Chain A
Amino acid sequence: MDFPAVSLRAILPAIVILTTAALVLLLDLLPPRERKGHLAVVSLAGVVAALLATTWLWGGESRAFRGMVVLDGYALFLDLVICYAAGLVVLLSMDYLRERGLESGEYYALVLLATVGMMLMASAGDLIVVFLSLELMSLSLYVLAGYFRARLASGEAAMKYFLLGAFATSFFLYGIALVYGSTGTTNLDRIAASASRDSLMMVGVALLLVGFGFKISAVPFHMWAPDVYVGAPTSVTALIATGSKAAAFAALIRVLVTSLRSTQPDWTVLLWGLAAATMTVGNVVAIAQSNLKRMLAYSSVAHVGYMLIGLVAGGVFGTGAVLFYLLVYTFTTAGAFGVVLLLEHAGGEGVSLADYAGRARRHPILALVLSLFLLSLIGIPPFGGFVGKFYLFGAAVRSGYIGLAVIGALNTAVASYYYLRLIVYMYMREPEGVEAVSTPSFAGGLALAVALVGIVVLGVVPTPFIDLAQAAVTPLLR
């Protein structure tokens, strides 16, 4: 019996993170048992090491496990996005957890395991791996969402996320079964080669889209998102909103543009509808929200709609624009949730719009930083959000989807209302009540600084990053 040659290169970044997770669990058992700060540092080191590994592997392409895992430029680009998301979340978690007395090894280990799942999703070359990595990510996130055991909201979030997530996963799995039934394989390239378009395939594609739609929270599979975002610990919310979405998009794009290429005319129309519904519902509903985390949840739903535009447009241009937007979105959203997290009270309060009245007076720097993130979300130059939207809408117009671009542009006009309202609340309202002024810690400040530099750099010198994104998707489209 001969074993297939295993190339560990292809999963090197994942291995680094996985090892770190194991190390964190191990260290958790060793003294000092009261203080857990070092665990976060170790986790962060692991993420940075994975980042370095990613850069080291840059430019090459390696496959392993008979094409089940593919580490190409595309996967590497997304590894970069995911590692940044994970790193920012770890940084943000340090003081957030310590202040609440909830620091533990499991938390960081779970964050790292979720990250491994995300990375493998980006480099999955087989539907089996897509499913497994999706589950690895999801299971870790379900637990993390319920991490604040003493808080009912956290438990409720975990329960909703878990039940609905498992529900969506079953559809996804059934979709895999049907695609397998139609093509006789689960390998993405071989599915593409079979070019099947029978009704089994059609239902299979629809069910796969349901599973992905849930993870990226596209309308009408988005309803878990606001509840989970509000109930989960804010650091976990940031991870769900950024990393898990990036990973789901990564797998979605790879599955759609490589293996389901033969059905492109079909799913393009579907995605058109999903994109229009997602951005419109997300933006319109966000207007009525008074809880900040909820508002950002709907806002993130809306941004998924924008990204779907790029997928509809297709081609190197559209798909590249999605990748670029994912990068921008990750920095911006992680940053925005980061500010919310730093301003949150220990009991989980302080996230309503009224709590933000006059924030600029007490926390001038945090308020300014949050305003800049919000301006990027609106799409005001010179921040990354503007360039990202320009590429997305430009790709849509280029491919002839002018209607979709118009809907998108109209949506950004609507969206400016609720983002701006938050800025107005922070700067132009009198503060209500008195509260202690807390200064953000070094770790939190570092996370925000990284995110802020990210959106400014992506807005001012976007060209190298757009080139990277386009180079990353080019092989997929061949």
Chain B
Amino acid sequence: MILLVPGSYYTGLSAVLFAIGVTGVLVRRNPLVIFMSIEVMLNAANLALVAFGAQFRNADGQVLVFFVMTVAAAEVAVGLAIIVAIFRLRPRLSVDDLSAMRW
């Protein structure tokens, strides 16, 4: 594979994506959106893995990306299930409401 742009651009982009994901987690209230932000973080990592893999010309990175995608899908399933379960008990959904347990 020939890199059209230098490898550092990919890692830079992945770092930016990751930061956007982190910010999304911190500023969003809705668990669904928070979860989407986490997905962005995972994909930032994926991008980095692919880029590094291309750089080193070995398959470890790419292989891991496939696994991560599968795991992310599983996480979506579990996450949605949990959200739905809570939604049944309490329709309005914001993570701020989930503060019965504290101190």
The interface of chain A, by Cβ under 8 A from chain B, is 127-128, 131-132, 135, 139, 142-143, 146, 149-150, 152-153, 155-160, 162-163, 166-167, 169-171, 173-174, 176-178, 180-181, 184-187, 226-227, 230-231, 288-289, 294
Q: Is A143 touching B82 in the complex (CB atoms < 8 A)?
A: yes
CA distance A160 to B83 in the complex (A): 11
Q: Is A155 touching B86 in the complex (CB atoms < 8 A)?
A: yes
Cβ 8 A contact of B85, one of A155, A163, A184: A155
B68 lies within 8 A of chain A by Cβ: yes
Q: Is B98 touching A139 in the complex (CB atoms < 8 A)?
A: no
Cβ 8 A contact of B86, one of A156, A180, A230: A156
Cβ 8 A contact of A177, one of B48, B56, B58, B82: B48
Residues 64-103 of B, flagged 1 when their CB comes within 8 A of A and 0 if not, give: 1001100100110011011101101110000100101111
Q: Is A132 touching B100 in the complex (CB atoms < 8 A)?
A: no
Q: Is B86 touching A162 in the complex (CB atoms < 8 A)?
A: no
Closest 5 CB pairs of A and B: A170-B41, A177-B48, A184-B56, A181-B52, A155-B86
Known: A128-B60, A131-B67, A176-B64. A166 touches B79 (CB 8 A): yes
Contacts of B35 in A (CB 8 A): 163, 166
Q: A167-B41, A173-B68, A288-B103 given. 9 additional CB < 8 A pairs?
A: A131-B67, A135-B74, A142-B82, A143-B81, A149-B85, A150-B89, A159-B95, A177-B49, A180-B53
Contacts of A289 in B (CB 8 A): 103
CA distance A288 to B103 in the complex (A): 9
- Chain B interface residue count, Cβ-Cβ cutoff 8 angstroms: 46
Q: Is B64 touching A170 in the complex (CB atoms < 8 A)?
A: no
CA distance A273 to B4 in the complex (A): 44
Secondary structure of the B contact surface, majority rule: helix
CA distance A120 to B63 in the complex (A): 18
Tell me which residues from 27 to 56 in chain B have a Cβ below 8 Å from any Cβ of chain A.
31, 34-35, 38, 41-42, 44-45, 48-49, 51-53, 55-56
Contacts of A184 in B (CB 8 A): 52, 56, 58, 60
Known: A170-B41, A174-B44. A128 touches B86 (CB 8 A): no
Q: Is B61 touching A152 in the complex (CB atoms < 8 A)?
A: no
Contacts of B42 in A (CB 8 A): 169-170, 173
Name the distance in Å between B46's Cβ and chain A's nearest Cβ: 8
Known: A128-B63, A163-B95, A227-B102. A180 touches B52 (CB 8 A): yes
Known: A142-B82, A174-B44, A226-B101. A152 touches B90 (CB 8 A): yes
* 27 chain-A/chain-B pairs, Cβ below 8 angstroms: A128-B60, A128-B63, A131-B64, A131-B67, A132-B71, A135-B74, A142-B78, A153-B100, A155-B85, A155-B86, A156-B101, A157-B101, A163-B35, A163-B38, A166-B35, A166-B38, A167-B25, A173-B42, A173-B45, A176-B64, A177-B45, A180-B53, A184-B52, A184-B58, A186-B64, A226-B101, A289-B103
Q: Is A181 touching B82 in the complex (CB atoms < 8 A)?
A: no
CA distance A289 to B103 in the complex (A): 8
CA distance A153 to B75 in the complex (A): 21
Name the distance in Å between A405's Cβ and chain B's nearest Cβ: 31
Contacts of A180 in B (CB 8 A): 49, 52-53, 60-61, 64
Name the distance in Å between B54's Cβ and chain A's nearest Cβ: 11
Contacts of A174 in B (CB 8 A): 18, 41, 44-45, 48
Contacts of B49 in A (CB 8 A): 176-177, 180
Secondary structure of the A contact surface, majority rule: helix
Q: Is A152 touching B89 in the complex (CB atoms < 8 A)?
A: yes
Contacts of A146 in B (CB 8 A): 82, 85-86
Contacts of B88 in A (CB 8 A): 149
Contacts of A127 in B (CB 8 A): 64
In the complex, residue of chain A having the shortest beta-carbon distance to the beta carbon of B88: A149
Contacts of A294 in B (CB 8 A): 103
CA distance A294 to B100 in the complex (A): 13
Name the distance in Å between B27's Cβ and chain A's nearest Cβ: 13
Q: Is A227 touching B67 in the complex (CB atoms < 8 A)?
A: no
Q: Is A128 touching B89 in the complex (CB atoms < 8 A)?
A: no
CA distance A150 to B101 in the complex (A): 16
CA distance A159 to B35 in the complex (A): 11
Contacts of A152 in B (CB 8 A): 86, 89-90, 100
CA distance A185 to B57 in the complex (A): 11
Known: A153-B101, A155-B89. A128 touches B67 (CB 8 A): yes
CA distance A331 to B29 in the complex (A): 39
CA distance A173 to B49 in the complex (A): 9
Name the distance in Å between B2's Cβ and chain A's nearest Cβ: 19
Contacts of A163 in B (CB 8 A): 25, 31, 34-35, 38, 79, 95
Name the distance in Å between A436's Cβ and chain B's nearest Cβ: 27
Known: A132-B67, A177-B49, A186-B60. A170 touches B38 (CB 8 A): yes
Q: Is B100 touching A156 in the complex (CB atoms < 8 A)?
A: yes
Contacts of B63 in A (CB 8 A): 128
Known: A162-B79, A163-B34. A139 touches B74 (CB 8 A): yes
Contacts of A156 in B (CB 8 A): 86, 98, 100-101
In the complex, residue of chain A having the shortest beta-carbon distance to the beta carbon of B48: A177
In the complex, residue of chain B having the shortest beta-carbon distance to the beta carbon of A183: B56
In the complex, residue of chain B having the shortest beta-carbon distance to the beta carbon of A190: B60
Known: A152-B90, A153-B101, A159-B98. A139 touches B11 (CB 8 A): no
